[in-house]
Structure 1
């Protein structure tokens, strides 16, 4: 089995067309087909069904595809790592991050890292925590900032670095996110106080993230634990869309407080556990963010350099009191 054969296989599997795959790879179509047949002979199984020119994966092909992608991703990472060890000022960091971090402090971290290592390519993938865990496990990412605890016990090493406090986002001019009652049948205003409980969201229209967002699952679970099903005015959005829908008065949303920075049209009300603050204690809802990488692959030099830059930034920002509102650093030294 050769890497070239796996690359040809992945190209055909993704394009479902031999000729188009050959054109993308800049090889002759007969040569590509020959290598695919050689791979099938090596494995002792057909990888594609070619009935009437319709190219589909066989069960063997379906099983091989994620493994082949992972092998090729690891080889690419190894090539870059050797180039770094050879003294070349080049490399790559493929970083996954949740939308709240992309909209918050990540930009400052990337600016500092780029200034220190201008020859290293930075590729950022924004997504929900579960999506990022999946891509990290597949080898499509080097590092990812994910939400703890992880689901399904993936083979990842994690280091908690941040704690985010969650708030209820609503239009700035209205407590609880209601622009005004238009019908006597509408529920009463959310109580006007400095915090909200999960129970206060009962019967409130909510704007909900798409599947794959940790915030979606956390909000739904908290509502069900409180004995009610959340009512969605609209669902399926990414972070920017959800915040814009809240600004438009469609409903409220549970979000990390840092994403409200620079959005004067929104206010954030702390979301607390139980009956709310008692004796000066505020048991606010929060989540822990960790930096993760695969257990079976050592981070590249570039990835380790990014981790150092991130941790140094957090330590310095915490000491200077310049972290975004609602964010706590969990690292004390870089």
Structure 2
């Protein structure tokens, strides 16, 4: 049974006219008439009484119309809803992440993409925010997670805001307690170079609070920075999500800061001069879902507001 033919039959039954139905459904009247005769032949009974005033249903036609009109409308509505769904993204998406987010969500985001959007080929790039911003501007990345404040020259929306914690070796005397920001002046610090986003955030907050940081070593590698802290030569400030795994194994100790708190903002950024493909927007949604799950389950203990 031809589904379209049944649909044409229902419209003819409602309008009582081949000419009106022809205009409404966009099919030539002779072709429509032929479709109705083919349906009658298929069922073996006349469905219409044809006259100068149009088309009237026979008892068999009335029975058929009554039985199919509601299911046809439900099917039509279902087809409309399916066609209205966002199209599945496809193609390669190159996404840059700072190292702390790579450790926290990269695997989970990749798993979502392979599970729910298998036509997307995701390529992840791990680098500090300063490098990511440059590569995004040059078109080497489709999107990137960048440190705030709001990155200029990009279409950027806030992804998360969380606090930085003091990270020290396992034997640090500050483990699991709150410390005042002024005490940071007495510690040797290991930070990234000034070109990168996290360094700028730390120095800005410290300067506003009148805190002078003693930066003894610089490391433009997240892994190298952690190795230096582990060696015992100094401390650093990092988002908790970037070192939670090492804290749980006892490799590092952490302390939360107050007066002031050091906060970071991360933005999901795309180039402002290019329309984002559907695949990039789909990956962004998966990133946001994983960040939301992360922030609900992964926070340092205690309350730093006092």
Report TM bin, short chain.
Answer: 0.5 to 0.7
* Secondary structure at 2:206 match in 1: helix
- Structure 2: which 5+ runs fail to align? 1-86, 302-306
CA RMSD of aligned residues (A): 2.6
* Residue aligning to 1:270: 256
Give 1:160-199 correspondences, 5 Å limit: 160-176=158-174, 194-199=177-182
Q: 1:325 aligns with which of 282, 285, 299?
A: 299
* Secondary structure at 1:103 match in 2: helix
Cα distance in 2 for partners of 1:317, 1:207 equals 26
Pair 1:141–1:258, CA change in 2 (3 A): same
Pair 1:160–1:89, CA change in 2 (3 A): closer
* Secondary structure at 1:237 match in 2: coil
* Residue aligning to 2:110: 110
Asked if 1 retains the 8 angstrom alpha-carbon contact of 2:201 and 2:264, the reply is no
Pair 1:242–1:293, CA change in 2 (3 A): same
Cα distance in 2 for partners of 1:219, 1:96 equals 22
* Residue aligning to 1:93: 93
- Structure 1: which 5+ runs fail to align? 1-86, 177-191, 275-283, 328-334
* Secondary structure at 1:270 match in 2: strand
Cα distance in 2 for partners of 1:228, 1:89 equals 48
Q: Is it true that 1:212 corresponds to 2:195 in the alignment?
A: yes
Cα distance in 2 for partners of 1:235, 1:266 equals 19
* Residue aligning to 2:239: 256
Asked if 1 retains the 8 angstrom alpha-carbon contact of 2:128 and 2:220, the reply is no
Give 1:1-334 correspondences, 5 Å limit: 90-150=90-150, 153-154=152-153, 156-176=154-174, 194-227=177-210, 229-263=212-246, 264-274=250-260, 284-315=261-292, 321-322=296-297, 324-325=298-299
Pair 1:134–1:260, CA change in 2 (3 A): same
Give how far 1:90 is off: 4.5
Spell out structure 1 runs of 4+ moving beyond 6 A. Answer: none
Cα distance in 2 for partners of 1:162, 1:228 equals 26
Pair 1:233–1:149, CA change in 2 (3 A): same
Pair 1:238–1:309, CA change in 2 (3 A): same
Asked if 1 retains the 8 angstrom alpha-carbon contact of 2:150 and 2:156, the reply is no
Cα distance in 2 for partners of 1:160, 1:271 equals 23
Cα distance in 1 for partners of 2:293, 2:125 equals 25
Asked if 2 retains the 8 angstrom alpha-carbon contact of 1:127 and 1:213, the reply is no
Task: Mark the structure with the bigger radius of gyration.
Answer: 2
Cα distance in 2 for partners of 1:257, 1:317 equals 11
Asked if 2 retains the 8 angstrom alpha-carbon contact of 1:168 and 1:252, the reply is yes
Asked if 1 retains the 8 angstrom alpha-carbon contact of 2:113 and 2:122, the reply is no
Asked if 2 retains the 8 angstrom alpha-carbon contact of 1:211 and 1:236, the reply is no
Deviations 1:28-63 (A, max 9, x none): xxxxxxxxxxxxxxxxxxxxxxxxxxxxxxxxxxxx
